[in-house]
Amino acid sequence: MILTYKNKQAKNDIISGNSKAKFEVIFGVGAKNKLIHADNLSALKTLLGDYAAKVDLIYIDPPFATNGHFKISDDRANTISSSNGDAIAYSDTLIGTDFLEFLRERLIFLRELLSERGSIYLHIDYKIGHYVKIIMDEVFGINNFRNDITRIKCNPKNFSRKAYGNIKDVILFYSKSENPIWNEPRLPFSDADEERLFKKVDKDGRRYTTIPLHAPGETANGKTGKEWRGIQPPKGRHWRSAPAALEEWDKQGLIEWSANGVPRKKNYLDEKNGKKMQDIWEFKDPQYPQYPTEKSLDLLKFIVEASSNEGDLVLDCFCGSGTTLIAAQELGRNWIGIDKSEQAIKVAQKKLAKMPSSLFSNVEYEFLKEL
Ligand SMILES: C[S@@+](CC[C@H](N)C(=O)[O-])C[C@H]1O[C@@H](n2cnc3c(N)ncnc32)[C@H](O)[C@@H]1O
């Protein structure tokens, strides 16, 4: 499925047609981390020279085609307005297919920058997000689509319009290939989970549940397909271990026998490493943002930890106040941030400079400005 629209350019024309940015290094010559003040299209093209297939993780939070202006205002940093005197941080005035093509151009360069095991997370809202999903499928391949994460961003709002409230936005997660960097995030079980999922308690007070002693799949010739204690695994299934291991489990009290002689494996809560993270996340945005639409640092740290390793390179080419860069820095990753707004660059520099000295002492970054 491909989205067709009038102003859609050929991929090759995008790659060959955009001019590179010329950068002036403001300080930190040669440092691994870079804060680039430029339009990201020309900056990405320039970066392709040195960083093709070298970026391990990309997070972007582009404008959402809201047709508004976002202002730096201490008390109302997230409101859209154009009539008072606050400094405009950035304008979000591309809409419809102009917006989609603006994003597609950048995504095409971003794919070239991603390493084979790299991933991209794209933050977008519920109004334009479904069109962006189709563009992402086209650029990264529908097979590389991993999740559309629902992010709960704020407390419920009581809009007067005749519709349900909106407390979520969307994060589209794609990998470059089948085997992305992945540090499985695990969450602790809540008390309610423990009671619901591990209903039984043994004589030592340990919570557990039981699962079938067999699993799907035939092993016609293997040991796990053989009879054990006079019982054959059901058709299409095999024992979880060979009969000798089942004997050992039984000796250790790890098998529970039902009244009518059906064995099940005991799974203890205290041997589990929490539960899998699902695709509805609650990471509310900062209550006192320093920049409009500033995202939660915890959200960014979560993504950086799950999809990159120490020493990897993280890129955010709509970096705003630098939330991604701070997360990457705190977690020992290298980073490149790009933004064309002077206000964004100022806030990002201020936030980087405020990092605890133990973390900041080895923050070296090149500050580049487009000429
Ligand atoms: C939604 S904000 C990002 C906020 C950021 N995630 C944070 O936590 O602060 C989008 C940013 O994209 C930047 N931007 C928009 N168009 C751009 C372009 N063509 N090149 C570089 N930056 C751009 C804007 O200046 C703005 O700072």
Please report the DSSP string for 82-119 in residue order. Answer: SSSSSPEEEEE---HHHHHHHHHHHHHHHHHHEEEEEE
Confidence of residue 359 (pLDDT cuts 50, 70, 90): low
- The protein residue with its alpha carbon nearest to ligand 1, atom 7, reads 294
pLDDT at 70: 87
Does the Cβ of 198 fall within 6 Å of ligand 1?
no
pLDDT at 1: 84
Q: Going along the chain, which residue ranges are E strands?
A: 23-27, 33-37, 55-60, 68-71, 88-92, 114-124, 145-152, 168-175, 186-187, 200-201, 207-212, 214-216, 237-239, 255-257, 263-268, 275-276, 280-282, 313-316, 334-339, 365-370
What residues does 120 pair with on adjacent strands?
Answer: 58, 174
Q: What average pLDDT is seen over the chain? A: 90
Which residue is associated with the tokens 């859609």? 8
List Cβ neighbours of 132 (8 Å cut-off, separation of 6 or more): 100, 103, 122, 124, 172
288, pLDDT greater than 80: yes
Of residues 64, 132, 145, 58, the one with CA closest to residue 100: 132
List Cβ neighbours of 34 (8 Å cut-off, separation of 6 or more): 335, 336, 337, 365, 366, 367, 368
Pairing of strands 263-268, 275-276: unpaired
pLDDT at 93: 87
| 19, 124, 339: residue to mutate for ligand 1 pocket, most atoms within 8 A of CB | 339
Q: What share of the chain is helix, strand, coil (3-state, %, to 5)?
A: 30, 25, 45
CB 181, CB 309: distance < 8 Å: yes
One-letter identity of residue 66? T
- The protein residue with its alpha carbon nearest to ligand 1, atom 27, reads 320
> What's the CA-to-centroid distance between 66 and ligand 1, angstroms?
13
Does the Cβ of 295 fall within 6 Å of ligand 1?
yes
Chain centroid offset of residue 107 CA = 16
pLDDT at 17: 86
Confidence of residue 369 (pLDDT cuts 50, 70, 90): confident
Tell me what the mean pLDDT of segment 142-160 comes to. Answer: 92
CB 52, CB 73: distance < 8 Å: no
> What's the CA-to-centroid distance between 84 and ligand 1, angstroms?
21
Confidence of residue 291 (pLDDT cuts 50, 70, 90): very high
99, pLDDT greater than 80: yes
List Cβ neighbours of 300 (8 Å cut-off, separation of 6 or more): 59, 323, 324, 326, 327
Does the Cβ of 33 fall within 6 Å of ligand 1?
no
27, pLDDT greater than 80: no
> What's the CA-to-centroid distance between 184 and ligand 1, angstroms?
29
Tokens of 310: 């120490």
| 90, 102, 104, 132: residue to mutate for ligand 1 pocket, most atoms within 8 A of CB | 90
Confidence of residue 245 (pLDDT cuts 50, 70, 90): very high
Pairing of strands 255-257, 263-268: antiparallel
CA distance 360 to 357: 5
pLDDT at 85: 55
78, pLDDT greater than 70: no
Q: What is the pTM of this model?
A: 0.88
- Higher confidence at residue 278 or residue 83? 278
pLDDT at 23: 74
CA distance 121 to 152: 16
Write out pLDDT tens, residues 334-354.
999 999 999 999 999 889 888
253, pLDDT greater than 70: yes
Confidence of residue 74 (pLDDT cuts 50, 70, 90): very low
Which residue is associated with the tokens 């109004």? 127
Confidence of residue 77 (pLDDT cuts 50, 70, 90): very low
Closest ligand 1 atom to Cα of 348? 9
Write out pLDDT tens, residues 271-283.
999 999 999 999 9
Tell me what the mean pLDDT of segment 195-220 comes to. Answer: 91
Helix (H) or strand (E) holding 328: helix 323-330
24, pLDDT greater than 80: no
Domains of the chain in start order, with CATH, are: 11-185+280-370 (3.40.50.150), 191-271 (no CATH)
Does the Cβ of 42 fall within 6 Å of ligand 1?
no
